[in-house]
Amino acid sequence: MAPIWFVVLYLTAMSMDHSYTFYRDYLSDLGVGRGHLAFNAAVIGAGAMTLAFALLGLAPALRRDWAGRGAPMMLAVGGAFLACVGVFTEDAGAVHYVVSVGFFMSVLVALLLLSVSLWRTGALGRIATWVTTATLALGALMLLWGFNPQTETVAVLAEVVWGLSIAAIRLRALLVVGASHAG
């Protein structure tokens, strides 16, 4: 749900702010522009949903070892940082930079831990393992490329695709389990 929430409100904010240019401007520029209410609601809501999904949707599916426990915790931290991006907008200066970088770095650590957990256990299946590892690799590449609007956009789009994929895999698994208990 978080990726859909984010994309819908991000597109809404973008359509309201004609000075914003996709891939040229930082996403956070929308948080202080004409579409600021939509963008800030996007990141606050997506952050809260990510935090909840990490602890309630992802954690129960993973083995209780260091990687399986660490991945959802770091993803929850990332969700908290993402919500803070909408509270501490670019107007907050250094605080905004800290929460923005905190979001990206904690999600990268979460993806690393989740990749380790999934490769060791196969807990969510091969597709989830490959999607998670590919998102981690792309995120690491974007980190090496540096912080700029292009790398931020690519990283966020990759995280949206990853989030949709993992949520769909978890939902499918829960529906299959629910159907087997009903029948």
DSSP assignment of 13-35 equals HHHH-TT--TTTS-GGGGGGSTT
Average pLDDT, the chain: 94
Tell me the pLDDT tens digit for each residue of 79-108. 999 999 999 999 999 999 999 999 999 999
Count CB-CB contacts under 10 A for residue 56.
11
Q: What pTM was computed for the model?
A: 0.92
- Helix (H, G, I), strand (E, B), or coil: what is residue 140? helix
Task: Determine the Cα angle at 56 with ends 50 and 58, to 5°.
Answer: 75
Please give the structure tokens belonging to residue 47: 């952050």
Q: Which distant-in-sequence residues (6+ apart) come within 8 Å of 25 by Cβ?
A: 149
Q: How far apart are the first and last CA of the chain?
A: 28
Of the pLDDT bands very low, low, confident and very high (cuts 50, 70, 90), residue 176 is confident
What's residue 181's pLDDT?
Answer: 62
pLDDT at 102: 97
Nearest to 75 by CA among 99, 44, 49, 110: 110
Under a CB-based contact definition with an 8 Å cutoff, are residues 97 and 81 in contact? Answer: no
d(Cα 56, Cα 50) in Å, to the nearest integer? Answer: 10
The residue written with tokens 């200066």 in the block is 93
